[in-house]
């Protein structure tokens, strides 16, 4: 299980992704986001292991996830999903993933081909302003964590664009 503090992008500060025991697994540098639309994810030794970069594709904000310098996925909002927000995690090849559930409240699942491969929830934790990410075996954790962070970025931007 990975523990992530929510809404860090509005402040643009750095934070650590922890395990359920509080040990540091990853460091997220959010400072560069306000300047370069980029977030860097580092391992505990400070080496960059992944990054997120925001760009526009067909007028939709899209977040590219790079793992080890290679493009791993693009995360974007699905168009025309009545009543619920859905985001697609478009990976190279046919195995795209989908984020669905209560995205705003960090209560959602990530599915591949209708099968749950990860879950995000605030209910599992008692720490305020944090959420947990549980990932199935065989799924790249950086892909899921990067996707959760991209979702936070997109929702935070939607809120600021709406003037809320």
Q: Where are the domains of the chain?
A: 2-161
Beta bridge pairs of residue 86: 100
* Distance separating alpha carbons of residues 108 and 102, to the nearest angstrom: 5
User: Averaged over 100-122, what is the pLDDT?
Assistant: 90
Cα–Cα distance, 28 to 130 (Å, whole number): 14
Query: What is the band of 12 on the pLDDT scale with cuts at 50, 70, 90?
Result: low
Does residue 27 have a pLDDT over 60?
yes
Say what the pLDDT of residue 44 is. Answer: 93
CA 25 to chain centre: 15
Architecture of domain 2-161: Beta Barrel (2.40)
Q: What is the pLDDT of residue 30?
A: 75
Q: Does an H or E element contain 154, and which?
A: helix 141-161
Q: How confident is the model at residue 163 (pLDDT cuts 50, 70, 90)?
A: very low
For the cut 90, the answer to whether the pLDDT of residue 91 exceeds it is yes
């Amino acid at each position: 299980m990975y523990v992530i503090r929510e809404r860090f992008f509005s402040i643009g500060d750095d934070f650590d992704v922890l395990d359920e025991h509080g040990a540091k697994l990853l460091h997220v540098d959010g400072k560069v986001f306000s300047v370069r639309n980029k977030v860097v994810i580092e391992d505990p030794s400070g080496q960059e292991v992944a990054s997120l970069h925001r760009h526009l594709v067909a007028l939709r904000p899209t977040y590219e996830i790079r793992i080890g310098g290679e493009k791993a996925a693009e995360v974007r909002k699905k168009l025309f999903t009545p009543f619920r927000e859905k985001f697609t995690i478009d990976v190279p090849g046919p195995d795209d993933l989908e984020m669905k559930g209560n995205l705003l409240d960090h209560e959602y699942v990530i599915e591949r081909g209708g099968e749950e491969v990860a879950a995000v929830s605030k209910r599992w934790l008692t720490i305020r302003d944090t959420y947990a990410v549980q990932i199935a075996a065989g799924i790249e954790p950086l892909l899921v964590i990067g996707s959760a962070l991209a979702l936070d970025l997109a929702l935070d931007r939607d809120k600021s664009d709406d003037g809320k």
